Amino acid sequence: MTRPSPAAFLVAVLLCAPALAQLPSANDLAARARQLETDDLAARARQLHRDAIVLDTHIDTTWRLLDAEWSFFDRHEPAVRGSARGTGRPAGNAVDYPRMREGGLDGAFFSIFVPGTVTGPPAVVRALEQIDAVRQLVEGHPGEMALATSAAEVRVAHAAGKTIALMGVEGGHMISEGLAVLRDLARLGVRYLTLTHTVNTDWADSSGDTPAHDGLTDFGKSVVRELNRMGVMVDVSHAADKTFWDALAASRAPIIASHSSCRAISEHPRNLSDEMIKALAAKGGVIQINYMDAYLDHDTYVAQEARDKALAPIRADLEKTHPGPENAQKRMQELRAAASALPPLPRPSWEKIVEHIDHAVKLAGDEHVGLGSDFDGASMPVGMEDVTHLPKITEALLRKGYSERAVRNILGENVLRLMERVEQVARELQAEGRGGTPGRP
Ligand SMILES: [Zn+2]
């Protein structure tokens, strides 16, 4: 082909000029290309979120199930701060069946939770009542729900299009009656035990309390071994750092942080340090990122600490003027009223969740990070008021350049792989012999 002379080329361009003027500019074309890419990415994210097994390892919706006037199958509004209905609790909430379907959340660990100050037989009874509530929820709706106690059961239920309920006990005080109770909880379908809540147990230190045991006591270590033998995940969320290290050393199976974020971003002692995240992952474990505003955002954490300090004398006063469990609601109402007079806390954006996921992935790889929202147990960041917002995380990760495989890992495959490994270790240990005595701490 002969090349046109520069002059002929210029003539051709000039002749075409009027037509060129009608064409979109280079900027317009680039913007259109970007738009197409965005649409494509959003469509890809929706498809991926639909196809993947999406699991959340910590929701606190269980207490609602015990309220006869509340139905998991009705659609509710998200909670609004301060929207107490005279109950001392917000009227709305973050998770129900219709919104789980809309948000593409296929399954969740319902937290079995009793405050750490309740111990002994009353704690066990209240845990059993909540386990019953979760099991009744599933038994009453076999077409919609399935209870899963293994990774294989999760996959079967997902393939059948069902919403999956799993259970985790949040606090070792619920087994304070000993290893026999631990085994019974496991037999009822509990698949993780959070070693502590915000106060120490008789055998483990909490990140929210003054150290009393230098981590795990000998009995605490026997709890970890028995959890391994029963195929129940050892959960280190809420644990003191020393408890974390002791549990990691004592456990033959990899362990989970069911709802914890990164201390490098928000210095809350309840979050995991980089060193802890790396060690957890090196042993095959997963960190499931918590969405609570103060765990995500350092400024919110600092402001919340200051607020707690300001409210401490009022709380102490209320303990004197309105003592006892029968006045707990009254005290909470009074505290809420006092808190509402203080300046509002800063509220981070939901995008902080993605920042924490990305931080943990950079430390540990995409096979050791997942989602543990704390929905219905914590105040959420702006844009993640309820479970319907979940697909935004999938899209944001794709937009960051994460592969579809990495996103599937984070959405649910990592925790399934962990469950499979824990089940395998349990089979090995059971083949080796029977469990410990029903001994108490
Ligand atoms: Zn918690």
pLDDT for position 324 = 84
CA of 428 to the centre of ligand 1 (A): 30
Ligand 1 center from residue 433 Cα (angstroms): 33
What are the structural domains, with CATH classification, of the chain? 47-297+349-432 (3.20.20.140), 301-345 (no CATH)
pLDDT of residue 208: 95
Residue 201 is predicted with a pLDDT of 95
pLDDT of residue 1: 44
Calculate how far, in angstroms, residue 374's C-alpha sits from the geometric centre of ligand 1: 7
| Ligand 1 midpoint to CA 125 (Å) | 20
pTM recorded for the entire structure? 0.88
| Distance from the alpha carbon of residue 52 to the mean position of ligand 1, in angstroms | 26
Whole-number Å distance, alpha carbon 259 to ligand 1 midpoint, is 7
Rounded average pLDDT per 10-residue block, the chain, 441 residues: 51 51 80 82 96 98 94 90 45 93 98 94 96 98 98 98 98 90 97 97 96 96 96 98 98 98 97 98 98 96 92 91 86 87 90 98 98 95 96 98 98 98 96 72 65
Distance CA 82, CA 263 (A): 28
pLDDT of the residue at 15: 52
- Quote the ligand 1 centre to 168 CA distance (angstroms): 11
- The span from the CA of 232 to the CA of 180, in Å, is 14
The pLDDT score that the predictor gives to residue 26 is 87
pLDDT at 326: 84
Do residues 81 and 396 make contact, with C-beta atoms less than 8 angstroms apart?
no
Q: Cα(377) to centroid of ligand 1, in Å? A: 7
